[in-house]
Each structure stands twice: as structure tokens, then as C-alpha cells.
Amino acid sequence: MFSKTSTVALVSAAVLAASAPAVVDASAKRGVAWPYFSNVAPSTAFGGAVAWLYDYETYLPPPDGSSFAGKEFICMQGKRGTGAQDSSPITQLASRCANQGSYVMGFNEPDQPESVGGSAISPQDAARLWQQYIQPLKNQGKKLVAPSVSAAQGDNLGEAWLDAFVAACQGCTFDAYG
């Protein structure tokens, strides 16, 4: 006979086992945004289930990118990158991404203020920067991911921002939308 304690233990173990994530093989479609300042390696959090990562920057996480070992690193020009203090200057995008993943991601939430993690770029400025610095990477074999807008609605927000960007970005191509 089972005691009440052992029955509770068995039920608890069954619930935990049922809710534990299954080990999943990496798929080329499965990626994750991973903060460059994290002390936890993505492989610790996701095991082998993630094939690629990005960190909102154009460089591997400090000190040497070892936390991304075995994963494809995707460069992202997260912000405008034209200020003296920017960690990912857009003028260095091509050289920083040359030996990285097959994709380059455009601006992160350009329709949102920097105070909430956005990059606060007008569609017209983003189009100009895209044409000058990002579109030429297509000729180097990179696949280009359009800027990742927020889900906000309204004038110059979310999809409205993206529509204005696409209209302003004559000659721009996108392999995917962020």
C-alpha cells in the first residue's frame, strides 16, 4: 500500500514530468533574442533547441562571445548608430557582420522612444540609413530583415511606421520581416 506521502510524491513527480520541456532538436527557424549582458548561456536555458541568436547589437556578447558558441549569431543594427556613444556604429555594420550569420536585422522598434527600448527613428531617416548601410550588404550575400516595429497602433506607430518606411525606402529589399 502507498502512504499518503508517497502518493503525493508520485503525483508531484508526474505533474513535474508532464510540465518539463521536451528536448527538441534545433531548427534553422528557431532563434531567440538574447541579452548581451546575460550571465546565463543560451544553451543552459534552451539546450540544443535554438539554432541562432541575436542580442540587439552588431557584436558578440562580451567578453568573447563564448556564450553563443555553436549558434549562428545574427547581427542587428538595433539603433540608429550615428551617435558618438553608440555601441554599434552603423558605419561599422559591414565589417562587424562580415563573418557573422547569414542575416542582418534592421532597427529594433524604430517607432518607439529609446526610453522603452526602441530606437526612435523616423521612417524617412531609417530608409536613408538602410539604403546607405544595410541594403549594400545584400551584395555580400546577406539576407536582410526589415525593421522590427512594435505592436503599437496609431500615427507613425507599428504597421503604420513600417508602411511609411517601405514607401520611403525605394530600391530596398527584405528577405523577412522582423
How far is it, in rounded angstroms, from Cα 72 to Cα 69?
A: 8
Please name which of 87, 83, 129, 124 lies closest in space to residue 106, comparing C-alpha atoms.
129
For 71-97, the pLDDT digits (tens) are 888 888 888 877 766 778 888 889 989
All three cell numbers of 20, joined, read: 518539463
What are the sequence ranges of the domains in the chain?
Answer: 24-177
pLDDT one-digit tens code per residue, 116-171 = 988 999 999 999 999 999 999 999 999 999 999 999 999 989 999 999 999 999 99
Winning range, highest mean pLDDT, from 18-27, 83-92, 101-110, 164-173? 164-173
The answer to whether 157 and 150 are in contact (CB under 8 A) is: yes
User: Residue written as cell 523616423?
Assistant: 122
